[in-house]
Amino acid sequence: MAIIWKESSFRAEARPPKRYALGLIPLGRPSSAYGYSQAIDGTWEWYRRDTGNSGADRNDFDDASDFIGWYMTKTRETNGIGMTDAYLQYIAYFKGHAGFRKGNWQNDNWLKRAAWKVAAQAARYRVQLPGC
């Protein structure tokens, strides 16, 4: 839930902002991220194939939250990050599994601050939603 909070503020149709050259010429969006989870096209398709959930939609909360759980499980299997380690799980989510392993995130103060915010939000949710 904390990852969805950070990625989309719980907005089903969330997308990265459009970019413009000279403030006028549209350049498109910086990525294909979309929906609650801000999953990019390739990773979403991997999820759909891997789970057999071919009808999953990024703007459906149930599908997006299942995606986050699936991705976190892959992160645990790939990088050994515990399911309750919201800080490192978010960094791996943001950078991708290979990007996390490269370790260049360790010099990214913006990302580390964002991950601490996710971890703090996850702690609040743990108190608010015990047993979930």
The amino acid that residue 7 corresponds to is E
Q: What is the pTM assigned to this prediction?
A: 0.89
Q: Out of 1-15, 29-43, 48-62, 72-86, which region has the weakest mean confidence (pLDDT)?
A: 29-43
pLDDT tens by residue, 54-75: 999 999 999 999 999 999 999 9
d(CA 42, CA 53) in angstroms, rounded, equals: 15
Closest CA to 39 of 94, 86, 89: 94
pLDDT of residue 16: 78
Residue 28 or 8, more confident: 8
Residue 81 sits in which domain range? Answer: 2-128
Determine the angle formed by the axes of helices 61-79 and 86-95, rounding to 10 degrees: 100
Closest CA to 48 of 31, 34, 35, 66: 66
What percentage of the chain exceeds 70 in pLDDT?
A: 91
- Residue 86 pLDDT greater than 90, yes or no: yes
Query: Would you place residue 31 in the very low, low, confident or very high pLDDT band (cuts 50, 70, 90)?
Result: confident
Domain total of the chain: 1
pLDDT of residue 43: 97
Tell how strand 19-21 and strand 25-28 pair up. Answer: antiparallel
Structural tokens at position 96:
């991708």
